[in-house]
Structure 1
Amino acid sequence: MAKSRKLEEILATLNQIRDDPASEEAIATLRQTLKGRYSVAIAQVAKIVREATLFQLLPDLVAAFDRMMVKPVETDPGCLAKKEIAETLYHLEYSEENLFLHGVRHVQMEPVWGGKEDKATTLRGTCALGLVRMNYPQALVELGDLLADPEVEARIAAARAIAYTENPAGIPLLRLRVKVGDQPAVLIECLMALLKLAPTETLPLIKNFLYPHPELPGLVRDIETTEAAVLALGESHLPEAFDILKDWWQSIHEPELRRSGLLAIAMLRHEEALNFLLSVLAAGSIADARAAIAALNLYRQDSSLWQRVYQTIEDRGDRELLAKVREG
């Protein structure tokens, strides 16, 4: 039977098993599939085990993972199966560190148009979380390495995992990553992690991204980096962040940053912040008023607040603005 036909039959069988995955017959089929050579099918089994919490199949998942670490590009192209297995073991609180250690260090370069691409970045991030969840003693060592990973996705996962540890020992790692510099997506995760682990100590660091700093000129690089710092403040929901954002917003002139600043203020979800947005809507420039409406859209389902928005615009007497709000 052709490989594609055989795989289609296996996947069809697995789809049927989802109706009763814990039956004796289903368990036997799942176990047999895990011993097979089709990584796509093994990935589906891992999902079924996770959804149905089939703890009895955890040893079989581990065995399949270990087997696909041998010649991984051939046995598990795209790292599909190993990613799903690691996700399942993490969610079912598997507590042996060896698999997660192998996964957090695994790099799987595969041919793509114009070169090669690492397909194991998601796997490394999931395994990092697995080590944290099981309180592996050297987890921060692995997370420090992952924070220097060549792949953006892996560095983001490292920052999230360090926040998940709730361990102050991770603060120096995050601060170093921030000060060395990185992509905005990584910076925002690092800053959010720092705001979780050490909010008071992190606020002055974030200010260095908001204003030109003669002693640290390299910290303010571009609009995207500044925007990352602003949104991290918004995500923090810290009351202290409001005055920082408000004062900064009132000092800048770049339209893009002014829009991001109002969005960050809305993200704080504090009454004082909402009142400020309404004041911008009432008396700000037309560009700022439109940006305030866009930021307040976070609260579109809050009928009482939205009534205040309507009333503010009516009092302003701007029909075009009122039409924009009604259009959504």
Structure 2
Amino acid sequence: MAARRSLDDKLAALRALRGQSLTNEQKAELRARIGDRSNLVVAAAAAIAGENSLVECAGELEAAFDRFLINPLKDDKLCRAKLGIVQALNDMEHPDSGVFLKAARHVQLEPVWGGSEDSAAPLRAAGVLALARVEGTGALPLLVDALADPAEDVRSAAATALGAVGGEAAGLVLRLKARIGDTDPDVFSECLGGLLAVDASEYLTLVVTYLDPSDPIGCESAALALGKSRLAEALDPLVECWRHSSSSELKRHLLLAVAILRRPAAFDFLAELVATGPEPDAAEALAVLGIHKDDPLIRERVKSVVEERDRPAIRAAFDRAFG
């Protein structure tokens, strides 16, 4: 029990440091905790180092990462320490790709009921994103491989990273992946979003072709990519698809994409739908506008429209969405 209390005490002491401006003594203690045997303690210490951009801890973090690679199944279950270290180093914009490359290639098969399961997918995803930042186009071969990773998290990260790297080569890889498709809708959406990040003027038309109500899953993926792009040119295709959709679920996803755009014209469209649309459509518009309920300007504008229309069902929808 003493050992368990000791671990709890260490974790409690580290939690107390979150959000603080650290003294030199606290920084020294933090560096010592990065060398701890417990992966939970190291993960907690790494998070604080990254939060405070303590670049002086980079060496200790790299050493800890290598230490947890020696016997990972025993010493770092679920890759908690390694993942925390990679995230911390990336948060402090660490310029050396060594740890990130090891993370992007690491597979950790842990025993589960009936077999084994790879627990390193989040670690590989974090490594992929960090490598794109550090190496740019130099990371393209690894990013292409990651786009075929068995884990959806890694494929999504690879698509995002390719969009961030940009350039003709990244665009062509993402275009090919979009044409082939993916079994996971989120991965497919990230591929389309990556294309828009590479060159919106070139790839917008291609992404819009997937706004096809006859393929609801592909349509939802394209809508999300367009919404996250924040492109003004994405609004009209989203609204046009919404008008031609018969599925209430698909229409809900399309309205959510409009809300995510965060463009003035998008808010105008949703507000007009609340003001004059059929009650079911007005209620759906209020539901998606609710993601902005903490924005006082949007809240007051929507409240004013609801009060002016003065319909009980719409007032109830507003209360549900804006609390």
TM-score, normalisation: structure 2: 0.85
1:251 aligns with 2:247: no
1:184 aligns with 2:185: yes
Preserved CA contact (<8 Å) 1:110 1:117: yes
Find runs of 4+ consecutive structure 1 residues off by over 6 angstroms. 16-20
Question: 1:305 is matched with which residue?
Answer: 301
2:270 & 2:13 partners in 1: Cα distance? 55
Q: What displacement does 1:292 show? A: 2.2
Q: What displacement does 1:234 show? A: 1.9
1:14 & 1:248 partners in 2: Cα distance? 50
Letter in 1 for 2:189: I
Per-residue CA deviation, residues 186-236 of structure 1 (Å, 9 max, x unaligned), is: 122222221122212222222332237xxxxxxx6x423311211222222
State the SS of the aligned residue for 2:116: strand
Q: 2:258 aligns with which of 243, 246, 265?
A: 265
1:303 & 1:33 partners in 2: Cα distance? 45
State the SS of the aligned residue for 2:170: helix
Equivalent residue pairs, number? 316
Per-residue CA deviation, residues 223-253 of structure 1 (Å, 9 max, x unaligned), is: 2331121122222222221221222222221
Question: 2:235 is matched with which residue?
Answer: 242
Preserved CA contact (<8 Å) 1:103 1:127: yes
Question: 1:80 is matched with which residue?
Answer: 80
Give the 3 Å change call, closer, same or farther, for CA 47–324 of structure 1 in structure 2. closer
What's the RMSD between the two structures over aligned residues? 2.8
Per-residue CA deviation, residues 249-291 of structure 1 (Å, 9 max, x unaligned), is: 2222111112222222233333433333344334433322222
Q: What displacement does 1:106 show? A: 0.6
Preserved CA contact (<8 Å) 2:181 2:188: yes
Question: 1:141 is matched with which residue?
Answer: 141
Per-residue CA deviation, residues 4-55 of structure 1 (Å, 9 max, x unaligned), is: 344335435545677785535862x444444442222222222232234333
Percent identity, aligned pairs only?
A: 37
Structure with the greater alpha carbon radius of gyration: 1
Give the 3 Å change call, closer, same or farther, for CA 153–284 of structure 1 in structure 2. same
Unaligned runs of 5+ in 2: none
Give the 3 Å change call, closer, same or farther, for CA 50–258 of structure 1 in structure 2. closer
TM-score, normalisation: structure 1: 0.84
Give the 3 Å change call, closer, same or farther, for CA 81–266 of structure 1 in structure 2. closer
Higher deviation after alignment, 91-100 or 262-271: 262-271
Unaligned runs of 5+ in 1: 213-219
State the SS of the aligned residue for 1:240: helix
